[in-house]
Structure 1
Amino acid sequence: MNDDSSSITIDCDSCLVRGDACGDCVVTVLLGGPPQGVRIDDEEREAIDALSASGLVPPLRLVTAMDESVPDSA
């Protein structure tokens, strides 16, 4: 079962630190370079977190832009 709410799409093209952080990002380590996009589920994300916490791979360095819309005030 693939539930979109339990997965993350890593799109290197939208990463705000692409280039600067690619050399120290788990995506580059595991896949050999920035791909078009990678979808990982919660189990894969937990595995990457465990590997990076133990120092075996660098952490995910993905940084995306936040929505700058102003919230409505009631």
Structure 2
Amino acid sequence: MHVDCGTCTVRGAACTGCVVTVLLGAPPEGVAWDETERAALGVLAGSGLVPPLRLVRPVDQGGRPAVRHAG
């Protein structure tokens, strides 16, 4: 999974409640997590220890992400 903070439509407004900012500080341009790391973050967020990922990508008219990233 590649999280590109530069394409997040709620960047700034939701950064303080996002796991990326909690773990890494100010929002970077992007971060990559593998499946094991994503699972661990899900457990931590589900337990209330960190906030969930707040990434919101823009969508095209068909409801698909307008910007696609490898991940």
Band the TM-score falls in, shorter-chain normalisation: 0.7 to 0.9
Q: Distance in 2 between matches of 1:18 and 1:52?
A: 19
Which one-letter code corresponds to 1:65 in the other structure? P
- Structure with greater strand percent: 1
Task: Check if 1:65 corresponds to 2:29.
Answer: no
Regions of 4+ moved over 3 Å: none
Q: Distance in 1 between matches of 2:26 and 2:47?
A: 22
State the match for 1:36 in structure 2: 29
Larger radius of gyration: 1
Q: TM-score normalized by structure 2? A: 0.82
- 1:1-74 residue pairs with structure 2 within 5 A? 8-68=1-61
Measured against aligned partners, the alpha-carbon deviations of 1:19-43 in whole angstroms (never above 9, x if no partner) come to: 1100000000000110111011111
Which one-letter code corresponds to 1:21 in the other structure? A
Q: Distance in 1 between matches of 2:10 and 2:40?
A: 23
Q: CA RMSD in A?
A: 1.0
Q: How many aligned positions are there?
A: 62
How much has 1:67 moved relative to structure 2? 2.9
Q: 5+ unaligned residues in a row in structure 1: which ranges?
A: 1-7, 70-74
Q: 5+ unaligned residues in a row in structure 2: which ranges?
A: 63-71
Q: TM-score normalized by structure 1? A: 0.79
